[in-house]
Amino acid sequence: MTKSWKEFRFTFPPQHEEHVTALLHDEATLGSYVESQSEQALTVRAYFEISRELSSLRDRFLAAVPQLVLEEGVAVDQNWVRKWRAGLRAVPIGKRFLVVPAGVRPPKATRRWVLRLNAGMAFGTGSHQTTRLCLQALEKFYRPGARLLDVGTGSGILAIAAARLWGQRRPSRAPILGIDQDPVAVEVARRNVRLNRVAPWVRIRQGALSETAGSFDCVVANLTAPELRSNADALDRVVKRSGRIILSGILEEEEEELLRGWSGRGWKLTGAAREGGWVALVYLT
């Protein structure tokens, strides 16, 4: 016999996301994800045992968030939920980070820095090699106190990770800037900044690298080889002298040509890390 699960849809003002997520866990959700979002409303789909009645959830959620709208959705079969949940798990990355999808409860005790992420439509769940290579480079090269530009922030994962490396140290103004030309990514990244409570460290702005001003100690850019190539002058412009550039999104077969193209720039290659056919390059300017 195929077992089914019950789906409910929760729509509420975005500032209540953390509260609703905590309640979903308390009510033993089998998993949840953000279906859509705008400045006014966030819609989350959450799954429960098939026996769960809407009335058993309504009172508690409405008492916490009176503006919340709760709807019952379809019943979905077990195989689908099992597959979907299997992809949702906490993933350790490098020596210091633990990426925890928003639908998964973070472990109570961990020595790692937890990055809570709801990537939605944006790139940056931590599952891609290019992101992981950047996270490993950040834990090696990024130090609290340094100003960081995250070019193409996507879900905000790299900017949030850099903020975690500050530990309890609070800056007088946000030292980390995440930019993305895609407005959807900007929305998602801002939401993840709130979810991780790193607003004192991180600002997210919509825009392309070519129109970004500033002078940063460290620049991380997980783009594509052609984008990195065409943005080399812009990267040079935003990084300080003796600053660090971490470049990712490069396939191994694209590496040589990029290295050649950048050889006359006066950047010093200080590291290259590889995973699954991808390479990240680290330069000192």
Question: Applying CB under 6 A, does 208 fall inside the site for ligand SAM?
Answer: yes
Report the residue from 100, 117, 149, 179 that binds ligand SAM according to the rule CB under 6 A. Answer: 179
8 A C-beta contact, residue 138 and residue 165: yes
Question: Applying CB under 6 A, does 185 fall inside the site for ligand SAM?
Answer: yes
Q: How many residues bind ligand SAM (CB under 6 A)?
A: 23
Question: Applying CB under 6 A, does 177 fall inside the site for ligand SAM?
Answer: no
Tokens of 155: 């879900």
What is the helix (H) or strand (E) element at residue 268, kind and residue range? strand 268-275
State the minimum distance, in angstroms, from the CB of residue 52 to ligand SAM.
Answer: 35
Conformational region of residue 210, where left means phi above 0, alpha means psi within -120 to 50, and beta covers everything else? alpha
Q: Which stretch binds ligand SAM (CB under 6 A): 23-31, 85-93, 102-110, 153-161?
A: 153-161
State the minimum distance, in angstroms, from the CB of residue 19 to ligand SAM.
Answer: 27
Report the residue from 158, 193, 195, 281 that binds ligand SAM according to the rule CB under 6 A. Answer: 158
How far apart are the C-alpha atoms of 228 and 220, rounded to whole Å?
Answer: 11
How far apart are the C-alpha atoms of 240 and 109, rounded to whole Å?
Answer: 38
- Residue 74 three-state SS: strand
Where does 168-277 have alpha helices with state H? 183-195, 225-230, 232-238, 252-262
Question: Applying CB under 6 A, does 134 fall inside the site for ligand SAM?
Answer: yes
Question: Applying CB under 6 A, does 245 fall inside the site for ligand SAM?
Answer: no
Report the residue from 5, 10, 61, 123 that binds ligand SAM according to the rule CB under 6 A. Answer: 123
How many angstroms from the chain centroid is the CA of residue 72?
29
Q: Which stretch binds ligand SAM (CB under 6 A): 13-21, 72-80, 178-186, 191-199?
A: 178-186
8 A C-beta contact, residue 160 and residue 115: yes
Task: Give residues with Cβ within 8 angstroms of 76, minimum separation 6.
Answer: 4, 5, 7, 47
State the minimum distance, in angstroms, from the CB of residue 184 to ligand SAM.
Answer: 8
State the minimum distance, in angstroms, from the CB of residue 158 to ligand SAM.
Answer: 5
Question: Applying CB under 6 A, does 153 fall inside the site for ligand SAM?
Answer: yes
Question: Applying CB under 6 A, does 118 fall inside the site for ligand SAM?
Answer: no
Question: Applying CB under 6 A, does 160 fall inside the site for ligand SAM?
Answer: no
Question: Applying CB under 6 A, does 202 fall inside the site for ligand SAM?
Answer: no
How far apart are the C-alpha atoms of 165 and 139, rounded to whole Å?
Answer: 7
Question: Applying CB under 6 A, does 227 fall inside the site for ligand SAM?
Answer: yes
Q: Which stretch binds ligand SAM (CB under 6 A): 74-82, 107-115, 220-228, 255-263?
A: 220-228
User: Where do we find the tokens 């412009």?
Assistant: 237
The residues with which 206 forms a beta bridge, in sequence order, are: 180
Closer CB to ligand SAM, residue 30 or residue 198?
198
Residues 110, 166, 135, CA angle at the centre, nearest 5°? 70
> What does the binding site for ligand SAM look like in residue numbers (CB under 6 A)?
122-124, 131, 134, 151-154, 157-158, 179-182, 185, 208-209, 222-223, 227, 231, 249
